[in-house]
Amino acid sequence: MAEAARAGADIRRPGVGGFLRYLPLLVLVFGLAELGAHFFFSRRAPSPEEWAAVRPLVASWWKPESVVVIAPYWAEPLARHGFGDAIMPLRDVARPDATRYAEAIEVSTLGSRSPELAQWKVLREAKQGRFVVRAVVNPSPPVVTYDFTDQVDPAFADARIDHRSGAADCPFHASATAEGGGLGGPPIYPAARFICPGQPAHVSVGVTIIDDEQAHPRRCIWSHPPGDEVELVTRFRNVSLGTMLHGHTGMGWLIERDQAVSRFTIRVTVAGEEVGKVVHQPGDFWKAFEIPLGLAAHRVADVEFRVSAPGGGTHVCFAVDSR
């Protein structure tokens, strides 16, 4: 009886040969697990600590006239948190486009490249951890002679409402109450802005930020006109002009999405003479434009942006420079 029991136990005990039969399957399972782990970790977004670790390299390449561009774009908030305002100031993060910069530093992860810099020449490249940092140069850098968005200040500009019966000045307030915002609401009306007396809060001129159709922030001059047959005019004094005006217009993505607001028009004058105009239709979103200056090129003169809209019920924001 004991011998029979031992014999039965020996039959049930797996031998080496049985284990070897499953070895190829185990190798396959572990190989697939390793491949899956590699794919997961290689496509995982870098952590805040990794962004902070690459900052010294980026800072050593950065110059005040350059711009830091992140690829893929959705990683930019993590980059800005790690890099800080010193090398990613709001003026650059909410740029109208990259064409004004002569140089850029592209910080790439996950194998991405920035479409903004697709035609720019790579000067040098370095790899650190899961990042590739590239110094690139603009193949056709402009000479920007004046940035209007930077000069919305009583030292350089003034604002008024022009209507049939005359004009009404809009005094500048350096520390007004910041208003606006909220889900589905307008952008923030900044504390420093030209405020038009007797008008709603949105009828003002100041620098704010809207979002475009790709959720990119865009820094621009808010200029909401008050009504029919009325123009909200912003005048910049003694502007050093180049050969053209290069700019963008927008309303903000949420306002334009349903195209339920009216168009707006910006007429541009130099020394009282109209040099061109831009008509922005709902659905144009962040729309680029250029106005050749012709005989007004290379002059120092007053420049006015005269904004109007049917019914006045339209958000207006624009960013312009002369180059």
* Same domain membership, residue 118 and residue 170: no
pLDDT attached to residue 35: 47
Give the span between the Cα atoms of 284 and 37, in whole angstroms.
Answer: 44
Q: What is the DSSP string of 281-293?
A: -TT--SEEEEEE-
In order of 49, 134, 239, 315, the CA distances from 145 in angstroms are 40, 28, 9, 28
Q: Does 9 reside within a domain?
A: no
pLDDT attached to residue 299: 97
Q: Does 157 reside within a domain?
A: yes
Give the span between the Cα atoms of 136 and 171, in whole angstroms.
Answer: 43
* Same domain membership, residue 159 and residue 71: no
221, 205 Cβ separation under 8 angstroms: yes
CA 56, 150, 145, 286 torsion-angle sign: positive
Q: Does 33 reside within a domain?
A: no
pLDDT attached to residue 233: 98
What domain count does the chain have? Answer: 2
Give the span between the Cα atoms of 92 and 89, in whole angstroms.
Answer: 6
* Same domain membership, residue 154 and residue 71: no
* Same domain membership, residue 258 and residue 223: yes
pLDDT attached to residue 42: 47
In order of 64, 100, 301, 308, 316, the CA distances from 168 in angstroms are 40, 35, 22, 15, 20
CA 211, 229, 146, 188 torsion-angle sign: negative
Length in residues, the chain: 323
> Which among 62, 113, 100, 116 has a CA at the least distance from the CA of 84?
62
CATH code for the domain of 159 = 2.60.120
Instruction: Give residue 77's domain range.
Output: 48-137
Of 114, 137, 160, the residue at which a domain comes to its end is 137
* Same domain membership, residue 156 and residue 127: no
Give the span between the Cα atoms of 206 and 221, in whole angstroms.
Answer: 6
Q: Please state, as a whole number, how many other Cβ atoms lie within 10 Å of the Cβ of residue 288.
A: 13
* Same domain membership, residue 191 and residue 239: yes
> Which among 129, 133, 135, 134 has a CA at the least distance from the CA of 44?
129
* Same domain membership, residue 302 and residue 155: yes
Q: Does 229 reside within a domain?
A: yes
Of 137, 159, 183, the residue at which a domain comes to its end is 137
* Same domain membership, residue 150 and residue 293: yes
Q: Please state, as a whole number, how many other Cβ atoms lie within 10 Å of the Cβ of residue 252.
A: 23
Q: Does 202 reside within a domain?
A: yes
Q: Does 220 reside within a domain?
A: yes
* Same domain membership, residue 150 and residue 131: no
In order of 1, 21, 37, 42, 49, the CA distances from 33 in angstroms are 48, 20, 6, 14, 27
Neighbour-count burial of 180, counting CB atoms closer than 10 A to its CB (0-12 exposed, 13-18 middle, 19+ buried): middle
* Same domain membership, residue 164 and residue 306: yes
Q: Does 85 reside within a domain?
A: yes
* Same domain membership, residue 176 and residue 288: yes
CA 239, 240, 241, 247 torsion-angle sign: negative
Of 86, 120, 137, the residue at which a domain comes to its end is 137
- 10-residue averages of pLDDT along the chain (323 residues): 49 56 59 48 79 98 96 97 97 98 98 96 97 98 98 98 92 92 83 95 95 95 91 98 98 89 96 97 96 98 96 90 98
In order of 86, 93, 185, 187, 247, the CA distances from 255 in angstroms are 32, 22, 9, 10, 20
pLDDT attached to residue 98: 97
Q: Does 58 reside within a domain?
A: yes
* Same domain membership, residue 230 and residue 158: yes
